[in-house]
A and B are shown apart, each in its own frame.
Chain A
Amino acid sequence: MAPPAATPQTNTVLDELDITPHPRPFKNPSWKTPHRRTKTLKQILSDATRTAAAGEGGTAPAGPMQTTYANIESAPSLHPAHSKKWCDVTGLPAKYTDPKTKLRYADKEVYAAIRMLPPGSAERYLELRGANVVLKGVDVGVEFAGATNGGVVGTWGGVGNAVVGSGRGG
């Protein structure tokens, strides 16, 4: 089955599926791929804010209701019922918080289990709830995590999001 060493070995499965040699009559023959075409969403958004800021100083003022990808993001919950605490391990309602690991737990059996967790596990549980953020300033970090349930994903996404969001909400 093995071909002689001189000829390149071919992958029969991929040879069949490969679209590289397939003719593409639908393509413009004079099309040249632009130089750099990969930007992460974060880059795209920060570029957009920069141009928007530049544009506002210029001739085309953006309307007050201009919606952008960044500002249609939902604002933090204001509903008090949604700050309920759940057991990090079982998901049941949690009454207590372990002061050492900061994990929430439902009863003493779960507490015993939390104390027996192998190193690193507690962090993974916290990460699941986004509460493993360690900010540089210790005081700020604690307050931040406590007050907002420790969100990272949303808040860093768009610059000036909170300002725009609250303006729209009113």
Chain B
Amino acid sequence: MPSPSTSPRESTPLPPPKLYDIREAPTYTTSSETTWNDTYKNSSEIAIVIDNGSSQTRAGFSHDPLPRLTCPPMVSKYRDRKAQKTYTVVGNDVFADPNSRGQAKNPFDSNVVSNFDQMETLLDYCFINLGVGEEGGGGVGHPVVMTEAVCVPGYNRKMMSELLFECYNAPSVIFGIDSLFSYDYNNGKTGLVLSTGHTATHLIPVVDGKGLVNLSTRLNWGGSQSADYMLKLIQLKYPGFPAKIQSWQAEALMKDHCYVSSDYKEEVANYLKPEILLEKDRIIQFPFTETVKVEKSQEELDRIAERRKESGRKLQEQAAKARLEKLIKKEQELAFLKTLQARQETDSKRDFKRLLEQNDFRDEAALEKSVRELDKTIRRARKQDVGAEEDAANSAPPSFPLLDIPDEELSDDSKKMKRHQKLMKSNHEARLRAKAEKEAERQRQEDLEREDAAKREADLPAWLSTRHAARTAVLTKIKDRTRLRNELLDRKSLASQMRMKSIANLASDSPPSKKRRRGGGGAPGTSSGPGGGGGGAIDDDNFGANDDDWSVYRNITLGTNSDEDEEDNELAKELKAIEDQLLLHDPHFDRNDTHEAKSDWRASLLHAFTRGVREHDVDDQAQGCQIHLNVERIRVPEVFFQPGMAGLDQAGVVEIAGDILLQRVADERARESVLRDVFLTGGAVAFEGFDERVQREVRGIIPAGSELRVRRAGNVVLDAWRGAAKFAQGEGAGKGGGWVTKGMWEEAGREYILEHRLGNAF
């Protein structure tokens, strides 16, 4: 994203980031039971109301303002071997102990009950908490109102009825749909109920207070799937995150930070733009323990640095000295060979030949060749540092007075001195020669530069194209290196296999076959090893003659390697040099085109996505334990509107609403009144902006001019229970509508229910 406004980047420093802490483990508080009205004990008219949801179980009496018991439907049966007994723990209590937490199970599969053993335990727990039942096993003694899924399969109703009537001796039972109870509690008469549950979302049209269950539609997406989606997104976004992100944490993050975008397409496209991201990026700080590094005092650091420098200098000196000695030796050898060459003219042919043979040369050509080669190596060696250059250059040429005096005239001491002076002299001369060579090299570089400049002035476009080509070459090299490094991390990649092959070849004792050796140009097989530089070895295969041969050793070393770093640095330096030239001479190449600018974090989309608008410090442990929520904030709730995003092949809520309103509700007049009350309930509609979005999008699909009103339940999670309680009190208890007594049930069949306006059809 090259943006023209690059200059104000640095001008205003960003405000310090606002950090959101991740919630601590969920703490459940059970409502205090002191203030409850105990009149229920005297009246068998008062019903027990159970909102039997897949994420929360709520139970209480119909005259209570709130459910007395609210807990997750978790059942844990855990056999403790040490205690030799089986524990049964239900609800929030399962989280109290790690063992019971590990065994905790939810009796629900999607939104229907699948495990009725666990369901029975859960109901036991409810009734224990409500304190119902008379001595002697008379049953619960109160009618029961219970919620069930929309169009629950007959099997489930049968099993639940069996439990309530036969196990708990309920005198009469009513089943209803939670979202319809909620709508009824919010005084709804005609409208469309959109209920987002824990595992599924339902849309049910209601006309004249009666839910038209036969026109309802379910979307298999709810709060639990959303939370799961959130968790997976975070895990993929931060693959190496140090902390384990629990599913309840993901759920909490979703509830705290997600909202429904009013115009998803528009908003998401611009979400990672810096100015928008600054505002919308949420940084979540996970707990971390700071490992305190032992801070060394400045003095200590200085001392260490000094020591290091000192030893480095010593080593350098030693190396330079060794190099110098070698150089002198070589120079002497060269001088000798040259005298040998000179003798060719003076000596007779036969004498010269014998001389050559004495010195291991076949003929003059061989001699000449070694002279040439030696000359070259000396030249090369001279360019290197041969130590103590400054001193030698600055001081006047030292005098070596003893050298001119013949040995015979000297005492033993002086002889020693002379030997020393001789050495010093050759040192001095070698240095001088090295200096001259260096000077020549510099000259050569300057010439090259001048030539380059001349070329540039003569034909700028051609020169630019060569420079650009060079830059691309370096860039490819850098890219190739990173790719290779990454491929080596994958055990199965071709690069890794090549590496294993190289290792196997190097490790094998038998020399690889000749054919193989001749085949590959730089085939890395050698039996003489890197040290075998001997000239006359029979099985020498010239390994090492080519510089690339040595890369076989680099190929087989893995991990961070100072050698590699050095090469990376060199490449970077080369690139920088080329880019500097281009910056200077190419009018179309500016600062934003440089590799540095392009790999700058400010320009990186992924940096914005994972690290927000600020620079990321790899060493900062706090930052390492942060996650940034940005696109996810709208991406997760969006699935309700576009289920395809999460791989769910179903229509979204608005499309379903349109289908129900325009296709299924046949009556024109009914449609008008349904549109006047679109009612949202259930946990997931708590997302900010859900109702505005529904309003906006439904408006787009209904006939122009129709009146549309969207509202939210007073309490999106609790009103279902309250509605059920209200239903039991008002209508049920007095008029008997919908109540199925035990006698009726035994008579009419196991799946039997009486249809009522807030329940399923039979």
Contacts and interface: CB of A to CB of B under 8 A. Distances in A.
Interface residues of A, number: 79
A106 to B, nearest CB: 7
Interface string A138-155: 000000000011111111
B713 interface: no
Contacts of A37: 115-117, 159
B269 A93 contact: yes
Contacts of A153: 220, 647-649
Nearest to B204: A72
A76 B646 contact: no
Q: B-side binding surface: helix, strand, loop or mixed?
A: mixed
B606 A113 contact: yes
B490 A77 contact: no
Given A74-B656, A90-B631, A41 B214 contact: no
Interface stretch (B33-41, B90-98, B186-194, B438-446): B90-98
B734 to A, nearest CB: 25
A77 B169 contact: no
B80 A92 contact: no
Interface in A64-78: 65, 67-69, 72-78
B236 A121 contact: yes
A11 interface: yes
Contacts of A45: 153
Nearest to A75: B651
B149 A118 contact: no
A26 B112 contact: no
A163 interface: no
Contacts, number: 251
Interface string A46-68: 01100000000000000001011
A7 to B, nearest CB: 10
Interface residues of B, number: 99
Contact of B651 (A82, A86, A110, A157): A82
Contacts of B489: 118
Interface in B110-156: 110, 112, 114-117, 120-121, 124-125, 127-128, 132-141, 149-156
Interface of A: 8-11, 13-15, 17-20, 22, 24-29, 31, 33-34, 37-41, 44-45, 47-48, 65, 67-69, 72-79, 82-84, 86, 89-93, 106-107, 109-110, 113, 116, 118-119, 121, 124-125, 127-131, 148-155, 157, 168-170
19 contacts: A14-B80, A14-B87, A26-B140, A27-B137, A28-B169, A67-B214, A72-B150, A73-B218, A73-B219, A77-B651, A82-B651, A90-B272, A92-B631, A116-B486, A118-B490, A121-B236, A128-B647, A154-B220, A169-B663
Given A47-B155, A129-B646, 10 more contacts: A14-B80, A33-B117, A41-B110, A72-B217, A73-B650, A76-B649, A90-B631, A91-B632, A168-B664, A169-B659
Interface of B: 78, 80, 82-90, 93, 96-97, 99-100, 109-110, 112, 114-117, 120-121, 124-125, 127-128, 132-141, 149-156, 159, 162, 166-169, 202, 213-214, 216-220, 229, 232-233, 236, 239, 265, 268-269, 271-272, 486, 489-490, 492, 604-606, 609, 631-632, 635, 642-652, 655-656, 659, 663-664, 761
